[in-house]
Amino acid sequence: MDDQLALRIQLFREGGQVRPEVADFVTTELTSLEAEGRTVTEATAGMLTSHLMMALGRILDGEAIEQFLTDDQIAAELAGHPDAVARARAVSARAERELGAPLPESEVNFLGMHLAVLAQQPPSAPTS
């Protein structure tokens, strides 16, 4: 994770926009993606980071997350990215287990799109 993405997470945390456990959860997910060779930077994962932190925060705060008119289109697009969908579902399962905040299907779809885009980035150099 580059310094700019780490700063994004820090600003969400210190600004009180997300609970510390949400920031920790998202950081762990990003670290896992990076360990798999994904390029996790502000440019490649900034929107994924913000979206996931805000969605989890809304769920934990009891706010309703509504279906989107584009859900069917996104699901159709994701048909070509089964690994991203599987990863998004796994993230949702971990969020439910660790935070008590499972992502609704529309959020799983959006997360899947972010992960599909991330998977198309050139791999990062291995870290030691």
pLDDT digits (tens, 9 = 90+) for 10-27: 999 999 999 999 999 999
CB-CB contact of 52 with 111 (8 Å): yes
- Does residue 106 contact residue 68 with C-beta atoms inside 8 Å? yes
> How confident is the model over 32-59, as a mean pLDDT?
94
CA 77 from chain center: how many Å?
18
- Give the DSSP H/E element, type plus range, for residue 107: helix 105-119
Q: Does residue 68 carry a pLDDT above 90?
A: no
**pTM of the predicted protein model:** 0.86
Measure CA 60 to chain center: 15
| Pick from 65-69, 78-82, 106-110: least confident | 65-69
Q: Rounded to 5 degrees, what are φ and ψ at 18?
A: -140, 155
The pLDDT of residue 128: 47
